[in-house]
């Protein structure tokens, strides 16, 4: 929450790398979606409201369903990561449909 007169704190993009905590979570058995969700601490209901994608759809994506480029872009903005880095964290880039 921002109080009157306060400046916004800039949110820096998270950078994907093999040393990133999400990479460790994926390597130990978490799905890419679950790993990012846990890293960013945004519950499905709040994420759904924030990006305008139904919670059921997010659950389907979390279980390995393909996702549209617009859905990927919305998730990337919510999780403050570039779309390219988000794709790099996926087990198969062909999950994203153009």
Task: Report yes or no: 54 and 48 within 8 Å, Cβ to Cβ.
Answer: yes
Q: Count CB neighbours of 35 within 10 A.
A: 21
Q: Which of 6-10, 71-75, 84-88 has the lowest mean pLDDT?
A: 6-10
pLDDT-derived band at 79, boundaries 50, 70, 90: very high
The CA radius of gyration of the chain, in Å to the nearest whole number, is 14
The CATH class given to the 30-92 domain equals mainly alpha
Give dist(CA 71, CA 3) in Å, integer. Answer: 31
Question: 68 pairs with which residues across the strands?
Answer: 97
> pLDDT band at residue 25, thresholds of 50, 70 and 90?
very high
Q: Between 47 and 3, whose confidence is greater?
A: 47
Mean pLDDT of 70-97: 95
Average of per-residue pLDDT values in the chain: 93
Nearest alpha-carbon partner for 64 in 25, 28, 94, 38: 94
Q: What predicted TM-score, i.e. pTM, was given to this entire model? A: 0.86
Please report the pLDDT score of residue 71 as a whole number.
97
């Amino acid at each position: 929450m921002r109080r009157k007169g306060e400046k916004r704190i800039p949110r820096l993009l998270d950078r994907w790398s093999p040393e990133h905590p999400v990479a460790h979570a994926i390597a130990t058995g978490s799905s890419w979606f679950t790993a990012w969700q846990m890293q960013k601490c945004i519950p499905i209901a709040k994420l759904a409201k924030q990006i305008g994608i139904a919670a059921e759809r997010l659950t389907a994506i979390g279980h390995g369903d393909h996702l549209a480029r617009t859905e990927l872009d919305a998730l990337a903005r919510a999780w403050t990561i570039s779309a390219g880095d988000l794709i790099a964290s996926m087990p198969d880039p062909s999950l994203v449909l153009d």
